[in-house]
Amino acid sequence: MPAEDTHAIAVRLDELLQDRGMTLTELSGRIGLTLANLSILKTGKAKAIRFSTLEAICRELDCQPGDLLTYAKSKGDQR
Amino acid sequence: MLSALIAVFRIANWLNWIMAALFAFLGLLLLIDPSHFRDMFMEAFTDRAESDAVFQWLLWSCLMGLPVAAAVHVILTRLVAMIRDTQAGAAFSESNAKRLTTIAWALLAINMVDLAYGQLSVWASAVSGEYFGWAPSLTGWFTVPLLLVLARLFREGAAMREDLEGTV
């Protein structure tokens, strides 16, 4: 089983929140996800994301899934 | 309910060791003063070979009780640990899978001893003419692979649970 921080999917939640001037706590309240879980997603420690979570984030941040998640070929390209 | 089950298993384990101690004590008496017991059996059995067979059966039965008690101890303590994990909300874990595997091997050990005990009883019955009551049973043998499969399922469950923990 691969380690949780080795996948090549980068989560750009931080940038999206900055662009929208929204805090993680605010987003957490809007989409009904705990701050702890949202923090796990933000730091790239999540192993999987539910479609319902993705849908809620895209709805609240007015973005596409591709804006939130990007594929980086190597680990160094992720950040 | 689960707490009551823990108490039952703990009491069962105590009884298990008390019985093992009694068997060990009797086995020790048989080893220390075999002639006393042989003479005693001679009163019931006219033939020397018959009384010897009864003596051997009793001695080996006492000795076989010890590994069985150890195996039962392993099973009961692992069961208590599994119930505790379940109470804590972590039924599907790698440690519980390992415990189930251990229980399976302990049960296999009991089955092996039972088989040896069966052979001993059949031999003693044939020599002495006295029936020493043993019948083969497949239940225990079926339980071993069943527990190993269950352990595998627990491992899969633990992996799924771990994945789910990382899902947001």
Under the banding of pLDDT at 50, 70 and 90, the label for residue A78 is: very low
Q: Is residue A39 in a domain? A: yes
Tally of domains in chain A: 1
Q: Is residue A61 in a domain? A: yes
Helix (H, G, I), strand (E, B) or coil at A69: strand
Which residues in chain B are closer than 8 Å to A48, comparing Cβ atoms?
163, 166-168
Measure A60 CA to nearest chain B CA, in Å: 16
Q: Is residue A79 in a domain? A: no
B167 vs A1, A38, A50: nearest CB: A50
Q: What is the mean pLDDT of each run of 10 residues along chain B (168 residues)?
A: 93 97 95 87 81 91 95 98 92 94 98 96 90 88 96 92 84
CB-CB neighbours of B134 under 10 Å? 16
Q: Is residue A27 in a domain? A: yes
Cβ pair B168:A1 closer than 8 A: no
Cβ pair A40:B168 closer than 8 A: yes
The boundaries of the domain holding residue A40 are 9-73
Give pLDDT, residue A5: 52
Give pLDDT, residue B109: 97
Q: What is the DSSP letter of A78?
A: -
B168 vs A1, A4, A53: nearest CB: A53
Cβ pair A53:B166 closer than 8 A: no
Cβ pair B166:A33 closer than 8 A: no
Domain CATH code at residue A36 = 1.10.260.40
Under the banding of pLDDT at 50, 70 and 90, the label for residue A1 is: very low
Give pLDDT, residue A74: 65
What residues does each domain of chain B span? Answer: 2-165
DSSP string, A7-54: -SEEE-HHHHHHHHT--HHHHHHHHT--HHHHHHHHTT--SB--HHHH
Give pLDDT, residue B148: 97
| Of B109, B108, B70, B78, residue with least CA distance to B96 | B78
Cβ pair B166:A4 closer than 8 A: yes
Give pLDDT, residue B129: 84
Structure confidence by residue, pLDDT tens digits, A7-24: 789 999 999 999 999 999
Share of chain A above pLDDT 90, in %: 71
Q: Compute the mean pLDDT over every residue in chain A, rounded to the nearest whole number.
A: 86
Cβ pair A45:B159 closer than 8 A: no
Classify the complex by whether its ipTM is higher than 0.90, answering yes or no. Answer: no
Give pLDDT, residue B103: 98
CA distance B62 to A63: 76
Give pLDDT, residue B28: 94
| Of A12, A51, A11, A5, residue with least CA distance to A31 | A51
Under the banding of pLDDT at 50, 70 and 90, the label for residue A2 is: very low
CA distance B157 to B161: 6
CB-CB neighbours of B109 under 10 Å? 18
CB A49 within 8 A of CB B167: yes
Give pLDDT, residue B48: 81
Give pLDDT, residue A7: 77
Segment 146-165 of chain B within 8 Å of chain A by CB = 159, 163, 165
